[in-house]
Amino acid sequence: MNSDSDLQIAGDILEVQHLLRPAREHPSTVAEFAGLARSLAADRARWAPLVQYDSASRWYHRLRKGPGYEVWLLSWVPGQGSGRHDHGPSSGVLTVLEGQLTEHTHRGTRSLRAGTERVLAPGQVHEVVNDSLEPAVSLHIYFPGLTDMPMHAARCAPAAVDVVPA
């Protein structure tokens, strides 16, 4: 007769920690960087007191630096944007901590709400804008650390067509 009570685990399950790999002090894979972003996002007490808002330009603060990577905290007041750019040879993880941002890429436009995480490949061109009426805060991890941020010409919007009633 099989039942849930027939299943037993030999020994204390909490004693298997010695079999698990220890957590790395510094991430080295995209998945580990995404995990670091989620961990830092959840630690509001660490980043929230640092946030400032600047109506003249985007505010940024390096939150952490490790071997081969950097973590930046950015704030965006309504209307602020990054301009079209890429991150040179760096990969990135962008996480929205508060508010809402809009990302424009060659594939289209995407709304990024608090909790949204985006992984960016080296050379990927995008533009991030705060199109909302409320400030926003985002966390950016670059690996290797950001050394280049080439700007790209703005995309030409389709020409407006005046419709004249017949």
Q: Which residues are annotated as a binding site for Fe cation?
A: 85, 87, 126
Strands (E), the chain: 59-66, 69-76, 91-98, 100-105, 108-113, 117-120, 127-129, 136-143
What distance in Å separates the CA atoms of residue 131 and residue 117, rounded to the nearest whole number? 18
Handedness of CA 25, 52, 94, 151 (dihedral sign): negative
Q: Cβ atoms within 10 A of the Cβ of 28, count?
A: 13
Nearest alpha-carbon partner for 137 in 98, 91, 81, 165: 98
- Cross-strand partners of 81: 129
What distance in Å separates the CA atoms of residue 52 and residue 59, rounded to the nearest whole number? 7
- Annotated binding-site members: 85, 87, 126
